[in-house]
């Protein structure tokens, strides 16, 4: 009959217990480094030279090639680190520059426009191709307000305006209005036309890819690259 050995006495005052509690419970913290660095490579190469067969010494050409490849790898890593640092610095500079736009008036690609009663609102039509029978429909939250006709237009940008009145000539109140612009191509197909509208910048956001997005007073969000003109 075998004798059962008593378990060792372990309590909170035990030195072994305290030492075990102080060790990290994260397995990654105590795991060996899986990456081979330059120092590790040189150590392996030195060990290989020490233990090489004297009758079959290591090829010096291969030795130089290995050193060259390791040097090139280190240079590429340093260059990548430098590029990352330059990219981060550029993004920070771009963010600071974009933040200065808050509160300023801009002309940006969009379909919503802020209108002030009694003031003529100007905007631009951005045509990718010549179009015929170009029309601009101004609408508010209740529906269409006025339709403007501009006939045939060539490709490019054209400055147009709305006097702020409806079809009956009544002055429309200050607020946000939506522009729907279209025309017909040579085949008679209806094509939408981009508009460049004035508005003020409320906020500036930074996207994950580092690009900037502006939130305008109309609530519309546009890319910084969509801004065509910056005013006071």
* CATH code for the domain of 211: 2.60.40.4070
Domain of 207? 105-230
Q: What are phi and psi of 82, to 5 degrees?
A: -65, -40
Q: Please state the domain count of the chain.
A: 1
65 inside domain = no
- Model confidence band, residue 10 (pLDDT cutoffs 50, 70, 90): very low
In this prediction, what percent of the chain has a pLDDT beyond 70? 65
CA distance 124 to 229: 11
- Model confidence band, residue 87 (pLDDT cutoffs 50, 70, 90): low
CA distance 32 to 154: 68
58 inside domain = no
> What is the Cα 142 distance to its own chain's centre?
36
- Model confidence band, residue 12 (pLDDT cutoffs 50, 70, 90): very low
Whether residue 49 is predicted with pLDDT greater than 80 in this model: the reply is no
pLDDT given at position 209 = 73
Which tokens in the block code for residue 191? Answer: 């094509």
- Model confidence band, residue 216 (pLDDT cutoffs 50, 70, 90): confident
pLDDT given at position 46 = 73
- Model confidence band, residue 137 (pLDDT cutoffs 50, 70, 90): very high
47 inside domain = no
Whether residue 97 is predicted with pLDDT greater than 60 in this model: the reply is yes
86 inside domain = no
138 inside domain = yes
Average pLDDT in the 70-91 region? 71
- Model confidence band, residue 101 (pLDDT cutoffs 50, 70, 90): confident
7 inside domain = no
17 inside domain = no
218 inside domain = yes
């Amino acid at each position: 009959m075998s004798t059962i050995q008593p378990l060792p006495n372990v309590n909170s005052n035990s030195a072994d217990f305290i030492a075990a509690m102080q060790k990290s419970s994260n397995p990654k913290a105590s795991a060996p480094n899986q990456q081979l660095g330059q120092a590790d490579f040189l150590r392996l190469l030195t060990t290989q030279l020490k233990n090489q067969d004297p009758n079959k010494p290591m090829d010096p050409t291969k030795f130089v090639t290995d050193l060259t490849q390791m040097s090139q790898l280190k240079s590429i890593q340093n260059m990548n680190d430098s590029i990352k640092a330059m990219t981060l610095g550029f993004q920070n500079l771009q963010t600071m520059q974009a933040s200065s736009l808050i509160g300023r008036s801009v002309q940006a690609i969009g379909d919503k426009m802020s209108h002030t009663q009694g003031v003529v609102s100007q905007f631009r039509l951005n045509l990718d191709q010549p179009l015929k029978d170009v029309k601009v429909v101004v609408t508010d939250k209740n529906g269409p307000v006025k339709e403007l006709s501009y006939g045939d237009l060539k490709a490019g940008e054209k400055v147009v305006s709305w006097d702020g009145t409806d079809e009956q000539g009544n002055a429309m109140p200050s607020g946000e209005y939506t522009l729907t612009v279209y025309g017909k191509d040579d085949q008679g197909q209806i094509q939408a036309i981009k508009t460049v509208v004035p508005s003020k910048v409320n906020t500036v956001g930074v996207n994950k890819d580092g690009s900037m997005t502006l939130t305008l007073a109309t609530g519309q969000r546009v890319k910084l690259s969509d801004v065509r003109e910056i005013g006071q």
